Structure 1
Amino acid sequence: MLVQISNEPRDYAWGSTSLIARLQGRTPSGVPEAEVWFGDHPGSPAVVEDGTGRTLDAWLAEQPSATSKLPFLLKLLAAGSPLSIQVHPSKHQAEEGFEREEAAGIPRDAGHRNYRDDNHKPELIVAVSDEFEALAGLRPLPATRRLLATLRDCPGVRQLTERLSGTDDAVALAGVIGWVLSGEAGSEVDDVIAAVSELKLDSSHEFAREAQLIGRLQGYYPGDAGIVVALLMNYVTLSKGEAIFVGAGMLHAYVSGLGVELMAASDNVLRGGLTPKHIDTEELSRILNTSPIEPPRLVPSSKDEAIDVFDAGIADFSLTRVRLANTSVVLPISGPAIALVIDGRVDVSASDQSDHHVLSPGMALIASADEELLHLRSDGDGVVFVATPGR
């Protein structure tokens, strides 16, 4: 069975006022539109477009072959300004933290609550806009030391450089992040922010993009200690169709652009700067993975010219991109699947082709768990993302 689903954009302050509206071919609402959730998560369940007004969680519960909950959450994400620097827990950490906060009687919607559910939240995002900017993972320290060497000499930069000079990179980074976010660094954080904000580099310089980004962050969040944390992170620019994967414990922040995001069905976020919201430095430090990494790009495997699979090896989800050019594709699926069109008009039909829907950009449908195939057809160019459970 196939049924269309829809949802209203969430108006987080960092959302774009135009990207989602432009994709959907409608007039902008005039307020930030940050995310559209296509899933059954209780924070914002999609609505089933069958005339009943039911939410997707209620519809799934009535399907004889369906599980009680989707293991994944598919989103359109549109960043008009930087999101907070954040990290997500592992499954074990989420279960432990959720149980601890439940026992403490902290309301699940409390601003200082860290764990709103007991699930992990690995995620991947694929760029839909021509460019998508992100901070993802902690940069290898040799490169960060070269970046610091370009800054003017001041007490804050000297202190930061000294603290990053230990023999164990992960330990040094953990110490610096705790020092910065705890408030112990005091005016030295201001010194570092000022030094990097003043940095003017030729566009061919190794760190020209990082310097430009830090200047923009200072404009959005003047004096925020998270700017120093951002200085330690990989700056990643994705072209349309490129992706990154963010696993448990990895610091990240999306900066600008439109993307299709797929994650485990969770809303657990611990923040590490660039936000007025609650920051629990002690808990963040406990779950943070401070091992330096290269930018965590996720390269899809291609089954043929039309089908690319973004598979991070996570049991909760896998994402397939189907590119059509006046063609038809038969896509095998397993488990409940959500199809989201981001380009063209695409006819989506069920296994026996008796049930079909024509979707325009920004429109989605769910295939019940008993469906084994999706027939996708477009009379012109079309792009469809299909989310399914992973391996």
Structure 2
Amino acid sequence: MLIPLANDPRDYAWGSTTLIAALEGREPSGRAEAEVWFGDHPGDPSETPDGRTLDRWIAADGRSVGIDAPLPYLLKLLAAASALSIQAHPSKTQAEAGFAREEAAGIPRDAADRTYRDDNHKPELVVALSEEFRALAGLRELAATRRLVEGLGPGAAPLAKRLAEPDATLSAVIGWLLSDGADAARDVIAAAVAGTSDEFAAELDLVRTLDAGFPGDPGIVVALLMNLVTLRRGEGLFVPAGVLHAYLEGLGVELMAASDNVLRGGLTPKHVDAAELVSVLDPEPGLPPVIRPRDLGDGIRAYDVPIADFALYAVTPGATPARVALHGPAIALATSGAPEVAGEASLTPAVLAPGGAVLVTPDEGGVRVTGTGEVFLAQPGR
């Protein structure tokens, strides 16, 4: 069975006014359009043709077609015109402990200072649809960060001193910046805004952009400690538990575990719990977690991630149908052309326009894609 899905764009302030509209081939609404959610997450479930939300449809009819629980993933279109908050997500164990702790404390789940809104982890994968998608992901190698900060001169001396300590950890430095380092952060920002660097010119340009939107925010200095990444169309960025990240600009398909647990580290008016962020943070620096798809043949490419919550495929049909086996409920999202999506059991196709999506129930056994364009297919991992 194929169930068409629809949803309205969410109007977060960082959203683009043009990118989703251009993908869908319509006039812009004039509002920021940041995300379109495809799934049964109670925060904004998709709508089905009979007027029910997808969570209600699954609760009533899911078992008869092989869906016996809420979807383990949430699929999105994401369109950023400016930076999202710097953030990290907890592991499953951390989420369970944090959720139980805040439940016992009686903190309402919708409270502004609530950190753990459910007991699940939230690994996520974003794949660039625009020709470039810019992001911050992971912590830069310490030696390079020391070169960057030392090159800023006297204004960055307190930060340079902390980074130079033999036992320095980036998580401890981030905790200091977000709790007690506001004055030092403003000095670093001023030095970066005025600074020049051949090696880190892009990073200093980013500071200037962020300072225009979030004047004096300590998160700007946190951003200076992170890897600046530019994805090309079709490249992915996988963010596991504890990895600090922020999307900056571009259009992408995002797939994540079904959770709303976010620990923020700046660039936001929302609640920042520095101590809790540091407690879940992966402090190890390294290269950004960029993923390039694996070619499976017949126009199918897989984005390999080491988790069971979700799997993502990009499908570009050719002269013969592209077939993907199902191991759970899937959502197919068209991003170009006019692809035809059918289940292997029913073989009744749905023709999707860009931005259109369908739920494919597990009893179909597989998905067959024909026609033209591109489809992203999300389903549970193995």
Provide TM-score, normalisation by structure 2.
0.96
Query: For residues 194-273 of structure 1, what are the structure 2 equivalents within 5 Å?
Result: 194-201=190-197, 205-273=198-266
Per the alignment, residue 51 of structure 2 pairs with 53
Q: CA deviation at 1:325?
A: 4.5
Identity in percent = 56
SS in 2 for 1:177: helix
Mapped partners of 2:182, 2:217: distance in 1 = 11
| TM-score of the pair, normalised by structure 1 | 0.94
Q: SS in structure 2 opposite 1:263?
A: strand
Confirm or deny: 8 A CA contact 1:193 1:227 kept in the other structure: yes
Between the aligned partners of 1:267 and 1:342, the Cα distance in structure 2 is 25
Greater Cα offset, 186-195 or 232-241: 186-195
Instruction: Report what 1:361 is aligned to.
Output: 354
Hey, what does 1:132 align to over in structure 2? 133
8 A Cα contact 1:34 1:78, kept in partner:
yes
Structure 2 CA distance for aligned equivalents of residues 343 and 239 of structure 1? 17
Report what 1:179 is aligned to: 176
Q: Secondary structure at the match of 1:245?
A: strand
1:134, 1:252 within 8 Å by CA — same for their partners in 2? yes
Looking at structure 2, the residues matched to 235 and 14 of structure 1 have their Cα atoms a distance apart, in angstroms, of: 18
Match of 1:388 in 2: 379
SS at match of 1:216: helix
User: 1:292-331, CA deviations, whole angstroms, 9 ceiling, x for partnerless residues?
Assistant: 1111111222111611101211100010001235653122
Q: How does 1:95-174 map to 2 (within 5 A)?
A: 95-154=96-155, 157-168=156-167, 171-174=168-171
**SS of aligned partner of 2:363:** coil
Structure 2 segments unaligned to the other structure (5+ residues): none
With over 3 angstroms needed to count, the CA separation of the structure-2 counterparts of 1:186 and 1:388, relative to structure 1, is closer
| Alignment map for 1:343-358 (pairs within 5 Å) | 343-358=336-351
Total equivalences in the alignment: 379
Q: What is aligned with 2:334?
A: 341
User: Gaps spanning 5+ residues in structure 1: where?
Assistant: none
**Per-residue deviation, residues 251-296 of structure 1 (Å, max 9, x unmatched):** 1000010100000000110100001111011111111111111111
**Is contact 1:272-1:279 (8 Å) kept?**
yes
Q: Which residue of the other structure, out of 357, 365, 370, is the alignment partner of 1:377?
A: 370
Cα deviations by residue, 1:183-226 (Å, 9 ceiling, x for unpaired) = x224221110001111234xxx3211111111111111010000
Retained in 1: the 8 A contact 2:346–2:364? no
What are the superposed Cα offsets for residues 129-155 of structure 1, whole Å, 9 maximum, x if unpaired? 11101000010101111212321323x
Cα shift at 1:71: 0.5
Q: Secondary structure at the match of 2:227?
A: strand
Alignment pair present for 1:79 and 2:80? yes
Task: Tell me which residue corresponds to 2:186.
Answer: 190
Shift of 1:177: 0.7
Tell me by how many angstroms 1:349 deviates: 1.1
Q: Which contiguous aligned blocks of 4+ residues in structure 1 show a shift greater than 4 angstroms?
A: none
CA RMSD, Structure 1 to Structure 2 (Å): 1.3
Maintained 8 Å contact 2:345/2:363: no
Any idea what SS the aligned residue of 2:355 has? coil
Provide the secondary structure at the position in 2 that maps to 1:303. Answer: strand
Q: For 2:363 and 2:345, how far apart are their aligned partners in 1?
A: 12
The aligned amino acid for 1:14 is: W
Find the aligned partners of 1:85 and 1:330 in 2 and give their Cα distance: 38
Please say if residues 345 and 365 of structure 2, whose CA atoms lie closer than 8 Å, have aligned partners that are also in contact: no
Output aligned runs, 1:265-344, within 5 Å. Answer: 265-304=258-297, 306-325=299-318, 327-344=320-337
Larger CA deviation: 76-85 vs 318-327: 318-327
For the Cα contact (< 8 Å) 1:163–1:175, is it kept in 2? no
Contact 1:165–1:172 (8 Å) recurs in 2: no
Does structure 2 conserve the Cα–Cα contact (< 8 Å) formed by 1:180 and 1:189? yes
2:376 aligned counterpart, secondary structure: strand
